[in-house]
Homo-oligomer: A and B are copies of this chain.
Amino acid sequence: MGRMNLTTAGVLRAAADLADRGGYDAVTVSALARELGVQPASLYSHVRDRAAVLDGIHELALGELADRISTAIAGRSGRNALAGLIEAHRVFAAERPGRWTALQRPADEATARSESAQRVVSLIWAVFRGYELPEGELVHATRIVGATINGFLGLEAAGSFAHRPVETEQSWGRVLDVLDGALRAWPGGAAPDGAAAPGHPGADAALPAGTAAPGIHPTPTAQEATP
């Protein structure tokens, strides 16, 4: 076996594919090395450590998700755009379970500030443009829509809906209904100019760029929520 001429990008891509095929936890340096026909130690020239591999999958996945969202909402607005947004997430989660799991882990600083993360946020906000949310409610809406989508897909992936595929599709339909309804009659006031209670719109301005994904990725697992 001569030189494989690996690159960091190639290693990360292989890692992401391995995660999709064998499950997120199967992404070990050893398994990855086996996959690439190389000794484990050799990978450390291309990748700092295992955590860097996982972070790499996260960012890779973020970019791919942004691409999918982009095409899913193209030429659509309002409820249709929202449908495209959530469907893009669901299809991505189903087709790329390992990549999707990576998105649920806390993102490292660099990933959170990455161009991919910003693209995802921009696309979500583009969808919200079809609803007339007060400026200050954008952040909250992003968080809640993200929470619901990720929460639902998490439950689905964990098998909580197992063996009831028909009902699951109906539930998914309700997700769209509920979110569309919520955005249409947003509690903070639905008028473009902040109407009134219970939030003081304008108090929270739009997120400064660079603050990164303010509430859609990453998601669960409180691994380091240790106090």
Residues of A in contact with B (beta carbons under 8 Å apart):
20-26, 93, 97-98, 100-101, 104-107, 137, 139-141, 143-144, 146-155, 157-161, 164, 166-167, 170-171, 173-175, 177-178, 181-182, 185, 187-188, 198-199, 204, 213-227
| Whole-angstrom distance between the Cβ of A99 and the nearest chain B Cβ | 10
A21-B225 Cα distance, complex, nearest whole Å: 9
Given known A97-B225, A139-B167, A171-B140, contact A154–B104 (CB-CB < 8 A): yes
Contact of A158 among B98, B148, B218, B227 (CB under 8 A): B218
Interface-centre pick from A21, A141, A218 (highest chain B CB count, 10 A): A218
Q: Is the CB of B146 within 8 A of A155?
A: yes
Interchain Cβ contacts under 8 Å between A and B, 13 examples: A20-B226, A23-B226, A93-B222, A101-B220, A139-B171, A141-B174, A143-B174, A147-B147, A151-B219, A154-B220, A160-B214, A160-B215, A170-B204
